[in-house]
Amino acid sequence: MSRYALIVCALGALALGGCRGKTVDEMSYTEIKQLSGQIAARCQAEGISPKSAEWDACTRQEVRREIATREHARERANSRVHINCTHFMYNTVCN
């Protein structure tokens, strides 16, 4: 599988993942290109050649990591407790 085909597949998988800021569906074309570049840069930083079998494994793993990170951030954001307080004269009631 070519590098670009793998990145396109990776971005499709990210679209199904959770959210860390923006979802991939909400990203502009430029932001999607930057994200795919970041994924490729992670593997290059490990010293992996883009035309090797390790490249495919690395990019797949980095996509999985990106999805897990986004899902974790979504879960944390959804699990925050919201407290509403009402002040009336000298009393405060929170629920």
Q: How far apart are CA 15 and CA 70, in angstroms?
A: 10
pLDDT tens by residue, 42-69: 999 999 999 898 999 999 899 888 877 8
More confident residue, 49 or 19: 49
Give the count of domains, the chain.
1
pLDDT for the residue 17: 42
Q: Domain range for residue 66?
A: 3-94
Closest-CA residue to 20 (of 72, 80, 78): 72
State what percent of residues in the chain have pLDDT above 70. 67
Q: How many CB atoms are closer than 10 A to CB 76?
A: 11
pTM of the model as a whole: 0.58
Integer Cα distance of 75 and 2 in angstroms: 33
Model confidence band, residue 18 (pLDDT cutoffs 50, 70, 90): very low
- Rounded Cα–Cα distance for residues 74 and 11 (Å): 18
